[in-house]
């Protein structure tokens, strides 16, 4: 792709990186058919190729971007299906994240939009704040239809009741049962520990049962993905540094074989810490070490050999690929293989894989597109005959569960059940 950046612009390391990335694009169009928003809206400006052009134009013009460009970029899910489809290796994830940061720095949104985005960045990454807001949402739920489309959608997604944690997960060391095969750190996350504490509980039970010592380090928390996708790059880096500091302390103490993440959106972010902090001379090496150690929980369970611990064959399962796991981390086989080893019959959703519409805070900011995608996904699921839907990301789980006729659980909860844990639904 031809670019017309000035030499002064190219002196900016961010522009230099983005130019090198976008020049890989050869306009082939393979990304179009993979893109959910293009499939819905039919506008090439709402496709990866179209957004690449728009972002290039935005950066070349410099200054505050055109509101129309911002609107098209805002509609991007960051599902990263385009990266799986691209034959030229365009790293769209980095490209769109950097574009969002540029918009955040240079564009003044309408007041209501600014307040909504500030509110999400202030509340969602902090479990205590999020739990408090969920409580407040119950009071205003009867009046949600009077509050506008976005606020109504947010209240609809808020659960009427929060599940109670059965095993409060806090800074601690959980010893392996029997022979210790590895020592891992578990990221407990932010939204997940409020909406579905049973996922962390199941992860600890399963990993310790399989021979892993699990440590939850003091100081680790939100991965930063939620604010990163809002364009708040500095906030995302602050979250990254806090987590890195907590995990590096563990590697320098008793050591770590892996950093385990059971929310795939977080895993995609943490595996990218090395890139995010590549120019920070203090944190770069530590960030690279953390990214190299980070694994999705399915990768770690596969290493621990699940099959010897399985007790019985259970129900048929529909497996939904979280985009951040499938496209962001390239993980397809491990969750399916583990479910089969645990005795489940895994059913594949027919048709082409598309995002469910969750995408971090996307379903809160772009509710109409998110609902359409969810309905399409559930329509395909309804053609199958299974007892439960499994997925590897809290966002997908929450999104699908708002309307699914079947219970929706995390893959690790089913694996825990099959090896002696409680029934998750």
| SS3 readout for 187-253 | ECCCHHHHHCHHHHHHHHHHHHHCCEEEEECCCCCCCCHHHHCCCCHHHHHHHHHHHHHHHHHHHHC
How confident is the model at residue 145, as a pLDDT?
67
Residue ranges and CATH numbers for the domains of the chain are 7-106 (1.10.1060.10), 111-157 (no CATH), 172-301 (3.40.50), 308-418 (3.40.50)
Question: Quick one: DSSP state of residue 165?
Answer: P
The average confidence (pLDDT) of the chain is 91
203/208 Cα distance (integer angstroms): 8
Q: Is the pLDDT of residue 216 over 90?
A: yes
List residues bridging with 390 in a β-sheet.
319, 409
Burial category of 166 from C-beta neighbours within 10 Å (exposed 0-12, middle 13-18, buried 19 and up) = exposed
- The pLDDT value recorded for residue 135 is 86
Do residues 414 and 390 make contact, with C-beta atoms less than 8 angstroms apart? yes
Of 9 and 350, the structure prediction assigns the larger pLDDT to 350
Residue 314, helix vs strand vs coil:
coil
Average pLDDT estimate for 215-232 = 94
Contact 265, 324 (CB under 8 A): yes
Question: Which tens digits make up the pLDDT trace of 33-49?
Answer: 999 999 999 999 999 99
- State residue 147's pLDDT score: 67
Residue 347: per-residue pLDDT: 94
pLDDT value for 164:
84
Q: In the predicted model, what is the mean pLDDT of residues 160-183?
A: 86
The predicted pLDDT at position 322 comes to 97
Res 372: pLDDT: 95
Q: Specify the pTM.
A: 0.93
pLDDT tens, residue by residue, 234-276 = 999 999 999 999 999 999 888 999 999 999 999 999 999 999 9
Task: Give the per-residue pLDDT at 155.
Answer: 74
């Amino acid at each position: 792709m031809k670019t017309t950046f000035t030499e002064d612009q190219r002196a900016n390391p961010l522009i230099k990186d983005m130019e090198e990335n976008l020049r890989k694009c050869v306009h082939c169009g393979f990304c179009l058919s993979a893109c959910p928003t293009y499939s819905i809206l039919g506008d090439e400006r709402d496709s990866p190729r179209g957004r690449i052009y728009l972002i290039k134009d935005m950066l070349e013009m410099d200054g505050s971007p055109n509101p129309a460009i911002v609107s098209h970029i805002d509609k991007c899910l960051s599902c990263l299906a385009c990266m799986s489809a691209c034959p030229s290796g365009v790293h769209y994830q980095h490209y769109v994240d950097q574009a969002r940061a540029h918009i955040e720095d240079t564009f003044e949104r309408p007041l209501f939009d600014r307040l909504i985005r500030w509110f999400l960045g202030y509340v969602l990454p902090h479990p205590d704040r999020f739990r408090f807001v969920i409580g407040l949402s119950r009071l205003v739920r009867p009046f949600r239809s009077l509050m506008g489309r976005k606020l109504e959608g947010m209240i609809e997604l808020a659960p009427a009741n929060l599940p109670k944690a059965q095993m409060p997960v806090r800074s601690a060391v959980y010893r392996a049962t029997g022979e210790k095969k590895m020592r891992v750190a578990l990221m407990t996350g932010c939204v997940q520990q409020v909406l579905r504490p049973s996922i962390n509980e199941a992860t600890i039970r399963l990993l310790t049962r399989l021979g892993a010592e699990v440590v939850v380090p003091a100081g680790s928390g939100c991965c930063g993905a939620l604010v990163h996708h809002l364009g708040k790059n500095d906030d995302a880096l602050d979250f990254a540094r806090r987590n890195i500091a907590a995990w590096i302390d563990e590697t320098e103490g008793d050591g770590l074989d892996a950093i385990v993440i059971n929310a795939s959106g977080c895993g995609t972010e943490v595996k990218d810490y090395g890139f995010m902090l590549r120019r920070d001379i203090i944190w770069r090496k530590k960030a690279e070490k953390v990214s190299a150690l980070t694994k999705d929980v399915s990768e770690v369970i596969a290493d621990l050999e699940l099959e010897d611990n399985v007790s019985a064959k259970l129900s048929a399962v529909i497996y939904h690929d979280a985009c951040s796991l499938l496209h962001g981390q390239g993980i397809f086989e491990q969750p399916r293989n583990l479910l089969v080893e645990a005795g489940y019959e895994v059913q594949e959703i027919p048709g082409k894989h598309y995002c469910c519409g969750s995408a971090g805070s996307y379903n809160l900011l772009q509710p109409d597109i998110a609902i359409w995608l969810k309905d399409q996904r559930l329509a395909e699921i309804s053609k199958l005959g299974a007892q439960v839907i499994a997925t590897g990301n809290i966002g997908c789980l929450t999104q699908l569960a708002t309307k699914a006729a079947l219970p929706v659980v995390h893959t690790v909860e089913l694996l825990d059940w099959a090896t002696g844990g409680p029934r998750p639904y």
